[in-house]
Amino acid sequence: MKLSCSVGEIRIVKKTVTDSDLATFETGNVHPFYGTFALGRDVEWACRQFVLEMKEEDEEGIGTFLNITHKSPALLGDEVEIRAILTELEGNTVNCSFAVMVSDRLVAEGSQGQKILKKEKVQRLIDQIRA
């Protein structure tokens, strides 16, 4: 693992809310807001930017937790900015906080964690589960 990032650094990911990001289930669309599940996916991607910079070729990141608190809705077509902040870097632990904004309005905030593991360890975990 490369220690190429430092606590306090920020990574920003921007995206436009699309139909596939809306709160929609088997019974249909619930409302025209950015769904929590899509928000979670996108927050994971923003926080993963640190892992991508730090992992070696024989390593991979694996999620350990995700906490999201919605503060206000983001609508279809809104551009959201996800600001991931590296809050903890200890051993192979990479933890972040994040804020999701539409312009100057806070949409969501929370925290997310990952560990960087050797790919062979990830494969052993998979093999153990399948056994």
* pLDDT exceeds 90 at position 131: no
Stretch among 9-13, 28-32, 74-78 having the lowest mean pLDDT: 28-32
Q: What is the separation of C-alpha 65 from the centre of its chain, rounded to a whole number of angstroms? A: 10
Strand order through the sheet with 79-90: 10-16, 79-90, 93-102, 105-118, 59-70
* pLDDT exceeds 90 at position 16: yes
Helices (H) and strands (E) in the chain, counts: 2, 7
Tell me the pLDDT band of 38, cut-offs 50, 70 and 90. Answer: very high
Pairing relationship of beta strands 93-102 and 105-118 according to DSSP bridges: antiparallel
CATH of the domain at 105: 3.10.129.10
89-94 average pLDDT score: 96
How many whole angstroms separate alpha carbon 53 and alpha carbon 57?
11
Q: What is the 3-state secondary structure (H, E, C) of 50-103?
A: HHHHHCCCCEEEEEEEEEEEECCCCECCCEEEEEEEEEEEECCEEEEEEEEEEC
pTM: 0.91
In a domain, 5, yes or no: no
How many whole angstroms separate alpha carbon 47 and alpha carbon 103?
20
pLDDT for residue 24: 81
Return mean pLDDT, the chain.
95
Tell me the pLDDT band of 31, cut-offs 50, 70 and 90. Answer: confident
In a domain, 4, yes or no: no
The number of domains in the chain is: 1
Structural domain of residue 22, as residue ranges? 10-130
pLDDT for residue 30: 87
